[in-house]
C-alpha cells in the first residue's frame, strides 16, 4: 500500500510556533504509523514563500525577500529536526522545480479557457492573502473573524480563474465522496459556502514582482494561493515524475480549519480543470488557543519560543501534549502549565513509573533476567486482548486523523498495565517459593508490556523506543506495528536494565524562575557512576548566597479545607490560612494524603511564589514536602506557632 500525506506549506514570514507545529507533528505521527504498518509513505511539508506579506516583512527587516526567507526556512527545518519530523521531502515554492510546474499549469489553464484576462477591482487582505468583494467586508475590514485587519483597494489588470464553471461539478463531487472533506461538520460549512455561489478568482498581480511570473505575460505574478496549492503535485514531479505516478492522489491533506476553503474549492477545481484525480481526504483540524481564548499566533503576540520549549521538556512531551489535547473537530487549549501537568501525570507517572517499577522488579526478583513464563491466567489474557483492540483502534483513529483518540486508547492500555501490577502484587508472590512460576509469568508479562508500549508510543513519541531499547536488552523490537499485538516475542534470559526514569518529573515554577541556573547545572552535572545509595540522590544545586536565600518567603499556614481536583489523580486543592488571609494552593500530593488527613495541620508555604494556574485553578504558593521516588511527607509544625510566622 502507498500513503501520501501532506501538511500545509507554511509562510516563512516568522518563526514556527506551537500552533504551526501541531499539523506537522500530527502528520508525522500518521506517516510513522503507516510506515510501521509496512506502507510505502511519502510525507511532504515545506514553505510558501511567494506571498506579498513576505515582501513586506522582509522590507521591514531591511532585507531582500530571498535572504529573509532563506533565514526563516532554516528555522523551520531545524524545528522539524528537533521535533523528530520524518518528512520525505521539503518543498520551497521559490525552487525552480516548483515554479516550472506552476507556469506550465497556468499556461495550460489559460490555453483551455479556464483562465482569462480582465480587470480586478476589489479588496485584498495581505495578512490573509485573500481577495474580498466590498459586500463581504465587515466595517470595511477583513471579514475573517480571526483577522479583522485593514484591507487594501486594488484596481489592476488581472487574470481570472473560472471557478464558477465548476461549481456544480464540485458540489456533486462533495456529495458523492463524503470522506473528501473531514470532519463532517466542516463539510457542511463548505457546501453552504459553495451553494451561495462561486465567483471567478483573481489569480495574478501586477503591483509587485515577488513571485512566479506568468510565462506569457511576465508583468504578472501568479496569485500566491494558486501557486502554493500546486506544491502538492510539483513536489512529486508532476506531470510525469515517478513519485507523481506512484503517490498521487494524496491520501490526506492535513490542514487547519482556516485554510479549508482554499483546499476544498480552489484546489479541487484546479485539479478538475487539469483532469486529474482529487485528493482522497482534506482534514481541517481546529486551532490551538491560548488560555485567554485567542488563537495562538505570531500576530497576537501569544506565542512561546518553540526552541526554548524543546530545551525545557524535549520533543516527546510536546508531541504528546499537542496530539492529546486537540480533540477531533474542536479547538485545543495550549498552556505551559497544562503541558507540564500532562507530562508529570501521563508520561512520568502513568507510563514512566510502570516501566521503572516493573524493570526494578525483574532486577530484584530474577537478577534482571526475563524469566521463562508459566501458563497464563485470565489476567494475562485480558491484557493480551486489550493490546489487540488498542492496536486496531489506533490504526483506525489515525486513518481518521484523530491522534487524540488514538492516544486515549493507548493510555487505556497503560492504565490496564498499572492495574495488572497492583492486582498480581509480585512483591507477595516473591515471598512464597510455591508461587515462583506465577511470579515468572508476571515478570515476563511486564517485559512484554513494555515492549508493546514502546511500539504503541513509537509513531507519537519516537524517542520512547530509543529509550526502551537499551533497557530491554538492546534489540530493536519497535519497528513493526503488528508486533504490538503479538505476544511472547522477548526471549527468556534476556537481561534488562532498570535505567533512569524515561520521563523525569518536571516542576514548572523551578523552570520559569531558575531557567539560567538550571541551564548552568545541566552543563555541569555530568552523571558519573557512583555507589548505589548516593546514585539515588539528585545532584546538589549550585551554591547560593544568603541574600538569595532571603528572597524566599516561607510562612506557617494552617490547612482549612482540602479536596481532590476533579479529573486528576495527583492534585489536591487546599485552602490555607496565613495571618488572617486565606489562600488557595494546588499541591501534587493526592497520592500520599487523603484530603481529611491534612485539615487542621500547620504546614509551610512558599508564600512569595508567583501564582500559577493548575487545571484552571490559581495556585497561590507551594507547600513544602520531602520526597523520594516512592514516599512523600508534607513538612508540618507541631508547636503552637501562629500562622503567618516566618520560616527562616
Ligand atoms: N501558506 C498557507 C498554507 C498554504 S498550503 C498550500 C498558510 N500558512 S500559515 O503558515 O499561515 O499556516 C499554516 C497552517 O498552520 C494552517 O493550517 C493553520 O491553520 C496552522 N496554524 C497556525 N496557527 C495555528 C494554531 N494556533 N493552531 C493550530 N494550527 C494553526 O496558511
Top-confidence range, 15-19, 55-59, 436-440, 520-524: 436-440
What digits encode the pLDDT tens for the residues 49-69?
Answer: 999 999 999 988 899 999 999
Of all protein residues, the one whose alpha carbon is nearest to atom 17 of ligand 1 is 256
Query: Strand, helix or coil at 204?
Result: strand
Rounded to 10°, the helix 306-313/315-325 angle is 110
Answer whether 7 contacts ligand 1 (Cβ < 6 A): no
What digits encode the pLDDT tens for the residues 192-250?
Answer: 999 999 999 999 999 889 999 999 999 999 999 999 999 999 999 999 999 999 999 99
Residue 515 pLDDT more than 80?
Answer: no
Answer whether 229 contacts ligand 1 (Cβ < 6 A): yes
**Percentage of the chain with pLDDT > 90?**
72
Of all protein residues, the one whose alpha carbon is nearest to atom 7 of ligand 1 is 10
Answer whether 255 contacts ligand 1 (Cβ < 6 A): yes
Answer whether 426 contacts ligand 1 (Cβ < 6 A): no
Nearest to 502, CA basis, from 619, 569, 579, 414: 414
Answer whether 260 contacts ligand 1 (Cβ < 6 A): no
pLDDT of residue 516: 44
Pocket test for ligand 1, best of 227, 256, 335 (most atoms within 8 A of CB): 256
Closest atom, ligand 1, to C-alpha of 289: 26
Closest atom, ligand 1, to C-alpha of 286: 28
Contact partners, residue 199, CB within 8 Å, separation at least 6: 133, 163, 164
* Residue 471 banded pLDDT, cuts 50, 70, 90: very high
- CA of 486 from ligand 1 middle (Å) equals 39
Residue 355 pLDDT more than 90?
Answer: yes
Residue 629 pLDDT more than 80?
Answer: no
Can you tell me the mean pLDDT for 7-31?
Answer: 94
Closest atom, ligand 1, to C-alpha of 7: 5
Answer whether 122 contacts ligand 1 (Cβ < 6 A): no
- CA of 14 from ligand 1 middle (Å) equals 12
* Residue 438 banded pLDDT, cuts 50, 70, 90: very high
- CA of 202 from ligand 1 middle (Å) equals 22
- CA of 80 from ligand 1 middle (Å) equals 15
pLDDT of residue 510: 65
Rounded to 10°, the helix 65-82/306-313 angle is 20
Whole-angstrom Cα distance, residue 47 to residue 8?
8
- CA of 551 from ligand 1 middle (Å) equals 44
- Which stretch of DSSP H or E encloses residue 219? none
Size of the chain in residues: 648
Average pLDDT value over all residues in the chain: 91
- CA of 10 from ligand 1 middle (Å) equals 6
Buried b (16+ CB within 10 A) or exposed e, 63-96: eebeebbeebbeebbebbebbbbebbebbbbbbe
**pTM (2 d.p.):** 0.79
pLDDT of residue 530: 31
Question: What are the DSSP calls for 528-569, one per residue?
Answer: ----HHHHTSPPPPPP--HHHHHT--EEEEEEEEEEEPTT-S
Of all protein residues, the one whose alpha carbon is nearest to atom 5 of ligand 1 is 8
Answer whether 22 contacts ligand 1 (Cβ < 6 A): yes
Chain position carrying cell 527587516: 61
Answer whether 254 contacts ligand 1 (Cβ < 6 A): no
What digits encode the pLDDT tens for the residues 283-331?
Answer: 999 999 988 778 887 777 777 788 999 999 999 999 999 999 999 989 9
Rounded to 10°, the helix 18-36/315-325 angle is 90
The sign of the dihedral angle between the CA atoms of 61, 67, 69, 71 is negative
Answer whether 296 contacts ligand 1 (Cβ < 6 A): yes
pLDDT of residue 532: 31
Rounded to 10°, the helix 306-313/18-36 angle is 60
Of all protein residues, the one whose alpha carbon is nearest to atom 9 of ligand 1 is 10
- CA of 9 from ligand 1 middle (Å) equals 8
pLDDT of residue 540: 58
- CA of 122 from ligand 1 middle (Å) equals 25
Answer whether 453 contacts ligand 1 (Cβ < 6 A): no
Pocket test for ligand 1, best of 94, 258, 334 (most atoms within 8 A of CB): 258
Q: How many CA atoms lie within 13 A of 148 on its CB side?
A: 5
pLDDT of residue 536: 43
Cell of 336: 505551559
Of all protein residues, the one whose alpha carbon is nearest to atom 21 of ligand 1 is 20
Cβ burial of 580 (10 Å; 0-12, 13-18, 19+) is: exposed
CA distances from 154 to 52, 124, 133, 206, 288 (A): 13, 7, 11, 10, 33
Q: Please name the residue ranges forming H helices in 117-198.
A: 167-176, 184-195
Residue 410 pLDDT more than 70?
Answer: yes
Q: How many CA atoms lie within 13 A of 241 on its CB side?
A: 14
Cβ burial of 136 (10 Å; 0-12, 13-18, 19+) is: middle
Answer whether 10 contacts ligand 1 (Cβ < 6 A): yes
Chain position carrying cell 492504565: 415
Residue 599 pLDDT more than 50?
Answer: yes
Answer whether 127 contacts ligand 1 (Cβ < 6 A): no
What digits encode the pLDDT tens for the residues 128-157?
Answer: 888 888 888 898 899 887 788 899 888 889
Can you tell me the mean pLDDT for 530-550?
Answer: 53
Whole-angstrom Cα distance, residue 561 to residue 567?
19
**Percentage of the chain with pLDDT > 70?**
94
Amino acid at each position: 500500500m502507498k500513503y501520501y500525506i501532506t501538511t500545509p506549506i507554511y509562510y516563512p514570514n516568522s518563526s514556527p510556533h506551537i500552533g504551526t507545529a501541531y499539523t506537522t507533528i500530527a502528520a508525522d505521527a500518521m506517516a510513522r504509523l503507516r510506515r510501521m504498518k509496512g506502507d510505502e509513505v511519502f510525507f511532504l511539508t515545506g514553505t510558501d514563500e511567494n506571498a506579498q506579506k513576505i515582501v513586506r516583512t522582509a522590507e521591514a527587516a531591511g532585507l531582500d525577500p530571498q535572504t529573509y526567507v532563506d533565514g526563516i526556512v532554516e528555522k523551520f527545518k531545524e524545528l522539524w529536526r528537533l521535533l523528530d519530523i520524518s518528512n520525505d521531502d521539503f518543498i520551497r515554492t521559490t525552487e525552480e522545480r516548483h515554479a516550472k510546474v506552476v507556469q506550465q499549469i497556468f499556461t495550460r489553464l489559460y490555453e483551455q479557457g479556464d483562465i482569462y484576462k480582465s480587470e480586478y477591482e476589489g479588496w485584498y487582505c495581505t495578512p490573509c492573502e485573500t481577495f474580498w468583494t466590498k459586500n463581504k467586508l465587515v466595517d470595511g475590514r477583513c471579514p475573517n473573524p480571526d483577522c479583522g485587519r485593514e484591507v487594501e483597494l486594488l484596481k489592476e489588470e488581472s487574470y481570472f480563474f473560472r471557478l464558477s464553471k465548476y461549481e456544480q461539478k464540485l458540489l456533486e463531487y462533495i456529495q458523492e465522496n463524503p470522506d473528501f472533506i473531514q470532519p463532517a461538520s466542516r463539510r457542511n460549512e463548505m457546501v453552504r459556502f459553495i451553494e451561495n455561489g462561486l465567483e471567478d478568482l483573481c489569480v495574478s498581480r501586477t503591483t509587485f514582482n515577488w513571485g512566479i511570473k506568468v510565462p506569457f505575460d511576465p508583468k504578472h505574478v501568479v496569485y500566491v494561493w494558486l501557486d502554493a496549492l500546486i506544491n502538492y503535485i510539483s513536489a512529486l514531479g508532476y506531470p510525469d515524475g515517478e513519485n507523481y505516478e506512484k503517490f498521487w492522489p494524496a491520501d490526506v491533506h492535513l490542514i487547519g480549519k482556516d485554510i479549508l476553503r482554499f483546499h476544498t474549492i480552489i484546489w479541487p477545481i484546479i485539479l478538475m480543470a487539469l483532469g486529474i484525480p482529487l485528493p482522497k481526504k482534506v482534514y481541517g483540524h481546529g486551532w490551538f488557543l491560548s488560555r485567554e481564548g485567542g488563537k495562538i499566533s505570531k500576530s497576537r503576540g501569544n506565542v512561546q519560543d518553540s526552541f526554548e520549549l524543546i530545551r525545557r521538556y524535549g520533543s516527546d512531551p510536546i508531541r504528546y501534549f499537542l496530539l492529546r489535547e486537540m480533540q477531533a473537530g474542536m479547538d485545543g487549549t495550549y498552556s505551559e502549565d497544562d503541558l507540564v501537568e500532562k507530562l508529570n501525570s501521563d508520561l512520568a507517572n502513568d507510563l514512566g513509573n510502570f516501566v521503572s517499577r516493573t524493570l526494578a522488579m525483574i532486577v530484584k526478583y530474577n537478577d534482571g533476567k526475563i524469566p521463562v513464563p508459566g501458563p497464563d491466567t485470565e489476567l494475562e489474557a485480558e491484557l493480551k486482548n486489550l493490546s489487540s483492540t488498542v492496536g486496531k483502534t489506533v490504526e483506525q483513529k489515525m486513518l481518521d486523523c484523530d491522534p487524540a483518540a488514538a492516544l486515549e486508547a493507548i493510555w487505556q492500555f497503560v492504565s490496564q498495565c498499572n492495574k495488572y501490577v497492583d492486582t498480581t502484587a509480585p512483591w507477595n508472590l516473591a515471598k512464597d517459593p510455591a508461587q515462583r512460576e506465577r511470579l515468572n509469568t508476571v515478570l515476563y508479562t511486564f517485559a512484554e508490556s513494555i515492549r508493546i508500549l514502546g511500539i504503541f508510543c513509537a509513531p507519537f513519541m519516537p524517542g520512547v523506543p530509543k529509550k526502551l531499547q537499551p533497557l530491554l536488552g538492546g534489540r530493536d523490537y519497535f519497528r513493526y506495528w503488528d508486533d504490538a499485538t503479538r505476544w511472547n516475542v522477548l526471549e527468556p534470559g534476556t537481561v534488562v536494565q532498570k535505567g533512569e526514569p524515561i520521563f523525569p518529573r518536571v516542576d514548572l515554577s523551578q523552570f520559569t524562575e531558575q531557567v539560567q541556573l538550571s541551564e548552568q547545572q545541566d552543563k555541569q552535572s555530568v552523571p558519573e557512576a557512583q555507589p548505589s545509595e548516593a546514585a539515588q540522590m539528585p545532584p546538589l544545586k549550585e551554591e547560593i548566597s544568603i541574600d538569595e536565600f532571603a528572597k524566599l518567603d516561607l510562612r506557617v499556614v494552617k490547612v482549612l479545607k482540602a479536596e481532590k481536583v476533579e479529573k486528576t489523580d495527583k492534585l489536591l486543592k487546599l485552602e490555607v490560612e496565613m495571618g488572617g488571609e486565606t489562600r488557595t494552593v494546588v499541591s501534587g500530593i493526592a497520592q500520599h494524603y487523603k484530603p481529611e488527613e491534612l485539615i487542621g495541620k500547620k504546614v509551610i508555604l512558599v508564600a512569595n511564589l508567583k501564582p500559577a494556574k493548575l487545571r484552571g485553578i490559581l495556585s497561590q504558593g507551594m507547600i513544602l514536602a520531602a520526597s523520594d521516588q516512592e514516599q512523600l511527607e508534607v513538612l508540618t509544625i507541631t508547636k503552637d506557632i501562629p500562622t503567618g510566622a516566618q520560616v527562616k
